[in-house]
Chains A and B, each alone.
Chain A
Amino acid sequence: MLCDNCKRNEATILIKEIRNGKAESINLCAECARLKEQQGELGSFGFNLAEVLFDLGKLTKAFKPGAKAPPEVEVPHEVAEAVCPHCGWSAEKLRQHEGQLGCPECYRTFAPLVEGAVARIQRGLVHLGKRPAGGGPDGAVAMRLELERLQRELGELIKREEYEAAAVNRDRIAALKRELEAAEAEEHRS
């Protein structure tokens, strides 16, 4: 099959996209796919990053009128329809702009979506790094929170006999404990 774009090379990449509720597929050669990707026409190769990041696919179903089965409302309605009071951003805008938020306040407005995204992509849920200069103790509170979470998780992993993951968890707990002790010693000195 020839590439739908240049009609010259053999198509090697099939991209399926839902546009205006209709599934469309397009066959591209590697070169055209690369060009389109560079020009941002494909999102992340046909994926909408926002949909993957925030699990917004389920949100679409909730929006679709006249569906046979009752819509799966996975995302609470108040989030799906929330509008940021500070910047006017909406879940729909999130989708259009590949998961980008409008302002810092959006983290509060879309908290359930953000929490889901963070849990999917990040290694932890709590910030353990540096803080703005003059911003108080160096993350000791956050470290204790994370330690607590990891210890809870470790118990569950052992119960489920997922020993490999448990070992990773155990190492992180040990490292965190060391770091916490060092931070506390530092605090005592200063």
Chain B
Amino acid sequence: MSARVEALFRNPAGILGEEGQGGDIAISSRIRLARNPAHRMFPLRADAEARRELCDEVAATVPEFPTLGGAEALVFDPEALDKLDREVLLERYLASREFIAHPQGTLLAVRPDERCSLMVNEEDGLRIQSLRPGFQLDEAWREASQLDDELGRAFEYAFDEKLGYLTACPTNVGTGMRASVMLHLPGLVLTGQIASAVAAVNKLNIAVRGLFGEGSDNLGNMYQVSNQSTLGESEKQIIDRLGAVISQFIEREENTRKLLMERDQHGMLDVIGRSYGVLRHSHRLGSEEALKCLSGVRLGVDMHLFKSLDIARVNRMFLAIAPAHLQKRAGRELDPADRDVCRAAFCREQLN
């Protein structure tokens, strides 16, 4: 077990520990910037030696990047980590699935508060990430851009006057920026409005996808809303356009919840109460049911129905019931049946 992953695992804050602006519906905001060093091949084409070289250069210069925490930055060699540790990084949104699936010749540097990180040799040579609680795209952009400037002093970027930052895939060319906000939308799901809302924003080159599960089969009512186009607008224009859509989602979700409480109070309270009951009293809890019930309890907390529970605790529970985190907590590998027992025990303890 890696001591550094252990340190992350023990870090209760992450980005979920505190409430940000737009707190209850917007869970977190993220900016990702794709960059590549000039005159080098993209990671897919680069050979093992070239990949290693870039990792070594980044590792040597990390202390010069204050936005990454300077000398305090946690630097991981994903290849040297076991599978479970890599999964922990994935579940904490510090690494992508693609990145942990091919750990050869990669590097990950994380600021100890986990709000800023850098992946080396993912799809692009350098991928900067900035994460913030709540709806804080502007702040996340400011920080990502700051780290970008620091990195840009150490590495000459592949940049074209017309096309902007050159990325491995033309879907990211230009700003190289993907901005996204994670939203909890149980009201829109309960009332069947989510499909039409998603279809409407798709027309604006904005993507909405369920965070857990696939397609309409979304679990936990968590949705990630992000820009699809990266060229032809400035970063600020992209963020403003995305922000306007997200504000609408939040407003509509708030109104729907109010309406539901007026028109079907017992139905609403039943969903919330049953969710709490399952989490508080079950002894075997699959991840599907757990996510569904956590969403119900989160809704109840937002509506001030629970005196002893706060939103930060519920947010942290979403993370803690994920498979790798459960196994870390148990200190050993667990098969799915054992995981269900541990998940139930953890939820009972948290709600006790």
- By a beta-carbon cutoff of 8 Å, the part of chain A in contact with chain B is 30, 34, 37-38, 53, 86-87, 89, 97-104, 107, 114, 117-118, 121-133, 135, 139, 141-142, 145-146, 175, 179
Contacts and interface: CB of A to CB of B under 8 A. Distances in A.
9 contacts: A87-B45, A104-B160, A117-B170, A118-B163, A124-B233, A128-B232, A133-B153, A175-B237, A179-B237
A126 B232 contact: yes
Interface string B158-197: 1111111110111101110100000000000000000000
B42 interface: yes
B162 A118 contact: no
Interface of B is mostly: loop
Interface stretch (B33-41, B65-73, B87-95, B271-279): B33-41
B234 A129 contact: yes
Interface stretch (B23-31, B112-120, B223-231): B223-231
A129 B158 contact: no
Given A99-B169, A104-B36, A128 B228 contact: no
Nearest 7 pairs between A and B by C-beta? A124-B232, A127-B164, A104-B158, A102-B45, A129-B175, A122-B231, A123-B229
Contacts of B231: 118, 122-127
B60 to A, nearest CB: 20
Contacts of A121: 170-171, 228-229
Contact of A100 (B38, B152, B169, B235): B169
Interface centre among B145, B214, B232 (most CB of A within 10 A): B232
A53 B234 CA distance: 23
Given A102-B42, A102-B45, A130-B145, A118 B170 contact: yes
Nearest to A116: B170
A101 B163 contact: no
A107 B41 contact: no
A30 B214 CA distance: 9
Given A122-B232, A123-B229, A89 B45 contact: yes
B174 A127 contact: yes
B145 to A, nearest CB: 7
Nearest to B227: A123
Interface of B: 36, 38-42, 44-45, 97, 123, 145, 148-149, 152-153, 156-166, 168-171, 173-175, 177, 205, 214, 217, 228-235, 237
Contacts of B175: 127, 129-130
B159 A122 contact: no
Contacts of A135: 159
Contacts of B159: 131-132, 135
Nearest to B176: A129
Nearest to B38: A104
A124 B237 CA distance: 12
A97 to B, nearest CB: 6
A89 B159 CA distance: 19
A131 B175 CA distance: 9
B266 to A, nearest CB: 33
A119 to B, nearest CB: 10
A118 B36 CA distance: 19
A70 to B, nearest CB: 30
A175 B24 CA distance: 32
Contacts of A53: 170-171
Contact of A30 (B41, B164, B217): B217
A36 B334 CA distance: 24
Contacts of B237: 128, 175, 179
Contacts of A89: 45
A122 B153 CA distance: 28
Given A104-B40, A118-B170, 7 more contacts: A97-B44, A103-B41, A103-B45, A127-B160, A127-B165, A129-B164, A179-B234
Interface centre among B40, B166, B174, B205 (most CB of A within 10 A): B174
B305 to A, nearest CB: 34
A184 B214 CA distance: 47
Given A101-B170, A121-B171, A127 B229 contact: no
B232 A87 contact: no
A100 B168 contact: yes
Given A122-B231, A126-B232, A130-B235, A142 B161 contact: yes
Contact of A142 (B39, B40, B162, B165): B162
Contacts of A145: 162
Contacts of B228: 121
Given A103-B45, A121-B229, A133 B234 contact: no
Contacts of B145: 130
A178 to B, nearest CB: 11
B113 to A, nearest CB: 24
Given A100-B44, A114-B170, A124-B231, A133 B149 contact: yes
A132 B229 contact: no
A133 B237 CA distance: 20
A101 B170 CA distance: 8
